[in-house]
Amino acid sequence: MTAGHERYRAPTADDHPDHLAWRARMVEMATGTPAARPEYPSVATMAGNVLAAAGRVVAAAATGKPVLAPDDVVEARRAICGR
């Protein structure tokens, strides 16, 4: 006989890419109190980041350099995808 929580074991494991959100949801379900919302940058900061990234892409394309993400960013993205 199981306690009925086996289906949540994999999503809340440390190696699951979205484990923090799953754990927060499980705590919310268990305690009845909503989990804290993550802090996001302001709209102005996000807009500035978009403009800076676009500027880097244009500069790289104008000089003939490839437009690539740094290796650490590529690895982080692959980890999210499970590859």
Q: Given this model, what pLDDT does residue 27 score?
A: 82
Q: Residue 35: which of 17, 22, 49, 16 has the closest Cα?
A: 22
Report how far residue 23's alpha carbon sits from residue 25's, in angstroms, rounded to the nearest whole number: 5
Q: Residue 3: which of 26, 35, 25, 19 has the closest Cα?
A: 26
For the chain, how many structural domains are there in total? 2
pTM: 0.44
> Are 34 and 46 in a shared domain?
no
- The answer to whether 46 and 39 are in contact (CB under 8 A) is no
Query: Collapsing DSSP states into helix, strand and coil, what is residue 38?
Result: coil
Q: Given this model, what pLDDT does residue 62 score?
A: 94
> Are 72 and 47 in a shared domain?
yes
> Are 53 and 82 in a shared domain?
yes
Comparing 4 with 64, the larger pLDDT belongs to 64
Q: Given this model, what pLDDT does residue 53 score?
A: 93
pLDDT in tens, 14-51: 777 777 777 788 888 888 888 777 788 999 999 999 99
CA distances from 17 to 1, 6, 14, 82 (A): 29, 18, 8, 7
pLDDT in tens, 69-78: 888 988 988 8
